[in-house]
Amino acid sequence: MKEIILIKNGEIVLKGLNRSSFEDVMIKNLRRSLKQFGSTEIKKAQSTIYIMPGEDFDLDRALERVKKVFGIAGFSRALECEKSIESIVTEGVPYLADVLSEVRTFKVEAKRADKRFPMKSPEIAAEMGGKLLEEYPHLKVDVKNPQLVVNVEIRDFGAYVHAGQIQGAGGMPTGTGGKAAILISGGIDSPVAAYMMAKRGIELTAIHFASPPYTSLRAEMKVKELLSKVAEFCGPIKMGIVPFTEIQEQISQNCPEEYFTLIMRRYMMKIANRLAEQNGCHALITGESVGQVASQTIHALAVTDAVCEMPVFRPCIGMDKEEIVSVSRKIDTFDISVQPYEDCCTVFTPKHPKTRPTISAVEEAETPLDHDKLIDEAIKNTRFEWIK
Amino acid sequence: MIHYLDNSATTPLCNEAIDRMTECMRGEFGNPSSLHLLGVKAEIRLQKCREEIANRLYCDKGEIYFTSCGSESNNTAIFGAVKAKRRDGKRIVTTAIEHPSVMRCMDELEKDGFEIIRLMPDQSGNIPVDEIKKAITTDTILVSMMAVNNETGVLLPIEEIKRAVRLSGSTALVHIDAVQGFGKIEINPQKIGADLLSVSAHKIHGPKGIAALYVKKGVRILPLIHGGGQEKGLRSGTESTLLAEGFAAAVTALPPTRVASEKAAALNQLLRDRLSQLGSVWINSPENAIPYILNFSVEGIRSETMLHHLENMEIFVSSGSACAKGEKSHVLKAMGLTDSLIDSAIRVSISRFTTEEDILALVGGIEDGINKLVRSKR
C-alpha cells in the first residue's frame, strides 16, 4: 500500500501568471519542513502539490507538520492506486475501514481529471459506493448530508482514494511577502503579531531588547521559546538581541518620568529601524493594540511612529485582548507568554504616563540624551542568532 | 569564586554523598526486591541507609519510608491521612504560609468538600499558639504544619499541636513538613508528637530525587502510588539504592545541630549588622527565625533586578522561594507586608559551608546595587 499527501493551494490559485513562482516557494518551504521526517519526492501538477514519501518517511508526524505550512488551504492523506477500477476498488475498500467504522452514512465523490480513463465520474462513484455497502453493512448512503465523503480522484500520475480534506494553515507561502522585523518582548501580543504577518507570506527577523540586570536570562529564553513556536509555521527566524540597559538608565535619570515609556518606545523604534534596514527588511511589526496601555493611545502611537522611516505593521491594532489570547492559544504561545519574568517594558514604568503626548513635548523631554551615541552603541553590541 | 547563598532552594552535594554514590554506581545494581543474591545485597544497603536516616530522627528504621521528593512526602502524608480518616470528619487545620506542595493539596481537598482552616501569621510572621488551640475541634482529622518556613525562616509552634489535639478530644493526625528544618534544628518526631513528618535529601547536601516520610508506628495511612508493594505497600516503585546511599551519607555527615547553628547565628548576625548600616534595607524575617534564613527588602529595587545584579558578581540569592519562580510571595503577603516590600524581597539562605567571605561579598554586592541600580518609582 502506498500513501501520499495531496496538497491544495490556498490563495495562490488566485494569482495570475506568477502563480508558478508562488508554488515554487511553497514547495521549497515544504521540503525544508519535511526533511526531518525522511526522504520524499515533491512535485506539482494542475494546482496540486504531491508529496510522495520514500521508504523511511514518517507520514503521521509529517501530516501534523503540514498543518503549519502557510499557503496551504487543505490537504489529504490518500491511497495511491493504479488507474484501473479494479485496483481502486480492491485496494480502496480495505483502506477506508478505519474511518468508515466511525460513521453510519457516507457518499462517494469521483473526479476524473484524466479524461482517458474509460469510466465517467458518476460510474466510478456508483461502483465504489456499491462495493463499500457490500463490505461494510452498517453503512447507508446519504447524498445530501453524509457524515463522510469518500473521494476518488483520477489524475495524471495515478488514481487516489481518500476520506476528505484536512484544513491547512491558510495564508501565503513564507517568503513571498518580503521581509519585516518584529519587535518582540515576551508578552502575549507580539508573538501573535509575528504569526499574523508571517501568515501573509512575510519572512521574519526578530528584535528583542534586553536590560540586564533589570531583566533576566530567563526572559530572553522565554522570547526564544516563543519565536521557535512561530518558526514552526514560517521557518527559522533570525533574532537580534539589543543591549538596552544603558538607554533605559539614561532615560530614567535624565528625562521627566511621565515620558519614560514613550521615549523608550521611540528608541526601540529607531534601533529596530536601523537593524531592520541592515537585515534587508522593509517594514516593522509590533504587537500594539489601540488603548491597551498608555503607550498605545493614538497620540502615543503617533509619537512613536514619528521616528520610523519604514511602515509599521500592527496586525493586533483592532483586536480585543480576548481575541489576541485566542490566537495565542491556537499557536501555542499563550502558556509561554504568561510566565512571570520581568521584561524591558515593566521595569521602568512611570506612575502616571502621558496618554496624550505631542511630538514637540516628547522631543523636548528627550533633549538631554545623546541619541546617536546611545543608538550606535546599542546597535554595535547587538548579538544575532538563528531560532529554529 | 562563587558565593552560593540560596541553600533553601537546594544545596550542593557534600563529598561524603558523592563518594558513597560513586562507589554505589560502580558496585551492584540489584533490585532490592529480587530474590537472588544481588537483590539481597541491594536490600541490605537500602536498610542500612534507612537506619542512618532513622538515627538522626530518633526513630525506628521501620518508620522511615522513601519517596522521590519532599513534595511527594507531603502529598502522601496529606492525601494518605485523609483517605484513611475520611469517616472521622471533614476538618483539616493548616497555615497560610505552607509550602505549595501542602497548600495545593489543601486546595484540592477543599474542592472535594473538606473544611480547610488556614491559620494566618501575625505581623512578625509567627503563627499564634492560641489560634491553633481554637482551630482544632473534635471533628478535625488532620493538622499539617511546617517546622520552619522556607521564605522567612520563622519557627512554627509545632510542639503545641499534639497537646491541642489531645485537649480537643479529636483523633486528628499531625503532619509536620520538616523539609526546611531538618539538619538545621533538632527534629524528633516522637517529642514533637508528629504522626507523619517529611524530610528531603537535597536540602542537606544530598542528591535531588529522594526524600523520606516518617510514619509513626501504628499510624495507618493509605498509598497514592500502587504497584509492586515496595516500602511496605505505602510507596510502590523500585527503590533507588544509589540515591538512598547519597541521602544517608548526607544525613550522617550532618554536624550536631547546636554546633552548626552557633556558626550560622554568627554569620546571620554579621549580615544583619552590615545590612542595617546600609540604610534602605528592611529585615522581613522575625527575631525568632532560624539563623540559616534571612529575608529582607531593599527599598525601591525590585527583587529580580537585585538578584540579577548579584548574579553578575557570582553571588546567588533568591527572590522569595525558588518554587514560585517570580510569583508574589504568599508568605510575605500573609504577614501583611506592603506591595513595595514584597516586590523587593530577597531571601538569603546559608548552609554549614557558608563563610564570612560569602556574607561580606553579598553585603558588598547589595551596597553596589543600591548605588548603581535605578530605583523603581513605585
Residues of A whose CB is below 8 A from B309: 213
CA B115 – CA A183 distance, rounded (Å):
49
Residues 310-339 of A with CB under 8 A from B: 339
Query: What torsion, rounded to 10 degrees, do the Cα atoms A187, A192, A198, A203 define?
Result: 0
* Share of residues in chain A with pLDDT > 90 (%): 81
pLDDT at A342: 66
Burial of A162 (0-12, 13-18, 19+ CB in 10 A): buried
Residue labelled with grid coordinates 504577614: B335
> Binning pLDDT at 50, 70 and 90, where does residue B378 land?
very low
CB pair distance less than 8 Å for A348 and B304: no
**Amino acid occupying residue B81:** A
B311: nearest CA partner in chain A: A213
pLDDT at A345: 52
Cell representation of residue A246:
544603558
Burial of B264 (0-12, 13-18, 19+ CB in 10 A): buried
Catalytic residue check, B105: no
For residues B113-126, give the mean pLDDT: 94
pLDDT digits (tens, 9 = 90+) for A53-78: 999 999 999 999 999 999 999 999 99
On whether the CB atoms of residues A153 and A160 are closer than 8 A, the answer is yes
Residues 6+ apart with CB under 8 A from B367: B278
Residues 127-186 of A with CB under 8 A from B: none
> Binning pLDDT at 50, 70 and 90, where does residue A339 land?
confident
CB pair distance less than 8 Å for B309 and A213: yes
> Binning pLDDT at 50, 70 and 90, where does residue A110 land?
very high
CA distance B325 to chain A (A): 8
CA distance B377 to chain A (A): 7
SS3 content of chain A, % helix, strand, coil (to 5): 40, 20, 35
Distance of CA A372 to the CA centre of its chain: 36
State the average pLDDT for chain A: 92
Nearest to A347 among B307, B327, B376 (CB): B376
The yes-or-no verdict on residue A325 having pLDDT over 90 is yes
Query: What single-letter DSSP state applies at residue B318?
Result: B
Residues of A whose CB is below 8 A from B312: 212-213
On whether the CB atoms of residues B278 and B369 are closer than 8 A, the answer is no
CA distance A383 to chain B (A): 19
> Binning pLDDT at 50, 70 and 90, where does residue B140 land?
very high
Opening angle at CA A193, ends B325 and A210, nearest 5? 45
On whether the CB atoms of residues B107 and B75 are closer than 8 A, the answer is no
CA distance B106 to chain A (A): 24
Residues of B whose CB is below 8 A from A342: 302, 304-305, 326
pLDDT at B287: 87
pLDDT at B212: 98
CA B228 – CA B236 distance, rounded (Å):
5
Query: What single-letter DSSP state applies at residue B374?
Result: P
Residues 345-374 of B with CB under 8 A from A: 373-374
Q: Does B327 touch chain A (CB under 8 A)?
A: yes
Nearest to B327 among A214, A340, A350 (CB): A340
CA distance B208 to chain A (A): 22
Residues of B whose CB is below 8 A from A347: 302, 305, 376
CB pair distance less than 8 Å for B304 and A341: yes
pLDDT at B24: 94
Q: Phi first, then psi: give them for residue A298, nearest 5 degrees.
A: -60, -40
Q: Across-strand partners of B199? A: B212
Residue labelled with grid coordinates 474511518: A99
> Binning pLDDT at 50, 70 and 90, where does residue A277 land?
very high
Q: B304, B316, B340, B346: best mutation site toward chain A, by most A Cβ within 10 Å?
A: B304
> In residues, how long is chain B?
378
B378: nearest CA partner in chain A: A351
CB pair distance less than 8 Å for A213 and B378: no
CA distance B375 to chain A (A): 9
CA A386 – CA A277 distance, rounded (Å):
18
pLDDT at A343: 61
CB pair distance less than 8 Å for B308 and A216: yes
Instruction: Tell me the DSSP string of B176-202.
Output: EE-TTTBTTB---HHHHT-SEEEEEST
Smallest CA-to-CA distance from B73 within B211, B175, B193, B180 is with B211
Nearest to A216 among B304, B374, B377 (CB): B304
The yes-or-no verdict on residue A344 having pLDDT over 70 is no
Peptide bond into A213 cis (omega under 30): yes
On whether the CB atoms of residues A92 and A60 are closer than 8 A, the answer is no
CA B38 – CA B18 distance, rounded (Å):
23
pLDDT at A349: 80
Residues 350-379 of A with CB under 8 A from B: 350-351
CA B40 – CA B24 distance, rounded (Å):
15
CA A336 – CA A187 distance, rounded (Å):
9
For residues B336-345, give the mean pLDDT: 90
Residues of B whose CB is below 8 A from A247: none
CB pair distance less than 8 Å for A248 and B374: yes
On whether the CB atoms of residues A22 and A71 are closer than 8 A, the answer is yes
Distance of CA A2 to the CA centre of its chain: 30
CB pair distance less than 8 Å for B377 and A257: yes
pLDDT digits (tens, 9 = 90+) for B56-78: 999 999 999 999 999 999 999 99
CA A29 – CA A175 distance, rounded (Å):
9
Opening angle at CA A192, ends A187 and A198, nearest 5? 135
Q: Across-strand partners of B175? A: B144, B196
Residues of B whose CB is below 8 A from A219: none
A346: nearest CA partner in chain B: B376
CB pair distance less than 8 Å for B374 and A348: yes
| Cα separation of the two ends of chain A | 34
Q: Does B314 touch chain A (CB under 8 A)?
A: no
What Cα–Cα distance (Å) separates residue A215 from each residue in A56, B110, B363?
45, 37, 22
CA distance A351 to chain B (A): 7
Residues of B whose CB is below 8 A from A341: 304, 326
Residue labelled with grid coordinates 488551504: A73
CA A174 – CA A26 distance, rounded (Å):
7
Q: Which of A319-323, A350-354, A357-361 has the lowest mean pLDDT?
A: A350-354
Cell representation of residue A261:
515609556
Run of H or E residues at A180: strand A179-183
Cell representation of residue B281:
534595607
Q: Is A47 left (phi over 0), alpha (psi -120 to 50) or beta?
A: left
CA distance A347 to chain B (A): 7
CA distance B305 to chain A (A): 4
Nearest to A249 among B311, B312, B374 (CB): B374
pLDDT at A347: 62
Residues 213-232 of A with CB under 8 A from B: 213-216
pTM of the model: 0.84
Q: What is the ipTM for the molecules in this complex?
A: 0.76
For residues A211-237, give the mean pLDDT: 92
Q: Phi first, then psi: give them for residue B368, nearest 5 degrees.
A: -60, -45
On whether the CB atoms of residues B146 and B102 are closer than 8 A, the answer is yes
**Amino acid occupying residue A193:** A
CA A272 – CA A285 distance, rounded (Å):
10
What Cα–Cα distance (Å) separates residue B175 from each residue in A214, B52, B79, B124, B193?
41, 22, 11, 24, 9
Q: Does A348 touch chain B (CB under 8 A)?
A: yes
The yes-or-no verdict on residue A172 having pLDDT over 80 is yes
CA A324 – CA A306 distance, rounded (Å):
26
The yes-or-no verdict on residue A157 having pLDDT over 70 is yes
Distance of CA B102 to the CA centre of its chain: 11
pLDDT digits (tens, 9 = 90+) for B254-266: 999 999 999 999 9
Three-state DSSP at A363 gives helix
CB pair distance less than 8 Å for B312 and A213: yes
Residues of A whose CB is below 8 A from B373: 213-214
Cell representation of residue B149:
518556613
Question: What is the count of residue pairs from A and B with beta carbons less than 8 Å apart?
Answer: 47
The yes-or-no verdict on residue B326 having pLDDT over 70 is no
Q: Does A258 touch chain B (CB under 8 A)?
A: no
Pick the more confident residue, A186 or B208: B208
Q: Is B30 left (phi over 0), alpha (psi -120 to 50) or beta?
A: beta
pLDDT at A314: 97
Q: Does B305 touch chain A (CB under 8 A)?
A: yes
**Which entry of B24, B49, B59, B323 is annotated as an active-site residue?**
B323
